Amino acid sequence: MTIANTALLLTAHVLVCLAPIAAAAADPPTTQPQRSWLSRLRASNRDLLEEIETTDGDPSASWRRPEESPQGRWDAAVLEVEPREEEIRDRPGPPLAGKRDHEPLRWMDVESLRALKAGADYRVRHYFDAGADGRGGDLGFTRHELAVRAFEEELGMGVTQAFLKTRVLDLHDRAWLPRPASRARRFPGQLADIQVSGMVPIIYLFGDLSVAFGSASDRPFASDHEMVADITWATGGFASGQEDSLVFFFNWQNNRDFLNAMPIPGLIYRHKHLDSLTLVAGFPYESIAWRPCERVELSASYVFPQSVYTEAAFLAAPNLRLHAGFEWTNQRYYLHDRHDVRDRLWYDEKRLTAGLRWNLNEHVYLDVGGGWAFDRSWWEGRTLQDDHHARIGIDDGPFAGIQFHARF
């Protein structure tokens, strides 16, 4: 790992540690005024409060006029407490613990799994051609991602869910792979990662079992050497309404970017401070989401050993959100003609992103954006540091993309 990469990881850790200190000094934006009104109403109009339907401390509490109040009229305080329609429409949702579409975290975040609705998500991102370290040409690609939530069934013991996730890279102006001359070949024209996954509650195991099965290769499902699997058992959960939650899990997968094909335990603790701060700490995941004011959300997350997501979002209008951030990710594929079955083709990338998200309605949104990709490389090996042949460095360059999301 280079000095620059180490500095980026240390910076992410420092931000995670310091942000709660800054957030503690900020006054909660919504809850205190609501509680003060409730206190005044309890003291001055107890009979009327018995007829009112409300949720204590919830800024979106609904109020109902009784058929006949003790005073035979509306109390002025009640009218002032009720949120105005435009305030409800403009209020952003609660902050998330990390990036919304952070795929490596899906199997860890039990609350997010339970809260998801049936739907589909399609994203396309085009990387323009860039030089490939003199490897016989430029290299660019278009990445297509499709995620479908197939079904959700409420059971007395929990929630059963199923997903289909597909990522396809169409490579063009292909350069040569970093291989010895005896096995020289160009990059494949296409790389695909196709997975079907599901989560079911297991009563006698006291938790939830998540299983994913698929293939990540230039020739997916051609043989069992290109198959991938991901199995997670988790207990506990990030329960809504609780300030402190704990998740303990075991995970095994054969396409992980560290300790591949080995079972690892994990422990994740989450703390929520009202609706303004969510802090998650543990192994292998840390994140923070902070809303310093009503229209601004800041989030950052880190997955061991070197996956980083940061984002700043601004609610510019009731249905329009502007966002910008930094991301550091990698992808891994099993090439069908590899010499060592344990080798994988790796792609590592850092990128600066910016865009806007337009909510067409409560079920559909459109996200348009782009950015700058840098410090990119491809190599064949077993691990992040295993580049026993050579790495192909890709020149920095722009990308552009669009995302369509629908929830049913």
pLDDT tens, position by position, 173-215: 777 887 777 777 888 999 999 999 887 777 666 778 889 999 9
pLDDT of residue 161: 76
pLDDT at 28 over 60: no
* The most confident of 24-28, 45-49, 174-178, 338-342, by mean pLDDT: 338-342
Distance, first Cα to last Cα, the chain: 43
Is it the case that residue 389 has pLDDT exceeding 50? Answer: yes
Contact status, residue 316 vs residue 331, Cβ threshold 8 Å: no
Give me the residue spans of the domains in the chain: 1-91, 92-407
CB 52 within 8 A of CB 37: no
Mean pLDDT of all residues in 308-319? 95
Provide the pLDDT for residue 333.
Answer: 97
CA angle 395, 136, 345 (to 5 degrees): 70
> Is 307's pLDDT higher than 80?
yes
pLDDT at residue 350 tops 80: yes
Residue 129 reports pLDDT greater than 70: yes
Can you tell me the distance from the alpha carbon of 75 to that of 129, in angstroms, rounded to the nearest whole number?
67
What is the average per-residue pLDDT within 387-393? 73
Does the structure show a pLDDT above 60 at 114? Answer: no
Please tell me the predicted confidence (pLDDT) of residue 387: 63
Is residue 140 predicted with pLDDT exceeding 50?
A: yes
Query: What average pLDDT does range 59-72 have in this prediction?
Result: 38
pLDDT exceeds 80 at position 241: no
pLDDT band at 275 (very low <50, low <70, confident <90, very high): confident
- Would you say the C-alpha torsion 132, 336, 341, 221 has a positive or negative sign? positive
Mean pLDDT value across the chain: 75
| Residue bearing the bigger pLDDT, 10 or 264 | 264
Q: Where are the beta strands (DSSP E) in 203-306?
A: 207-217, 227-237, 244-253, 264-273, 277-283, 285-293, 296-303
> Does the pLDDT of residue 21 top 60, yes or no?
no
Most confident of 59-63, 91-95, 125-129: 125-129
CATH class label, 92-407:
mainly beta
Residue 306 CA to residue 129 CA, distance in Å, equals 26
pLDDT at 57 over 50: no
- With cut-offs at 50, 70 and 90, classify the pLDDT of residue 152: low
What is the DSSP code string of 189-210? SEEEEEEEEEEEEEGGGTEEEE
pLDDT of residue 230: 94
Instruction: Report the C-alpha gap between 96 and 102 in whole angstroms.
Output: 11
What confidence tier does 54 reach under pLDDT thresholds 50, 70, 90? very low
Point out the least confidently predicted range of 1-15, 136-150, 362-376: 1-15
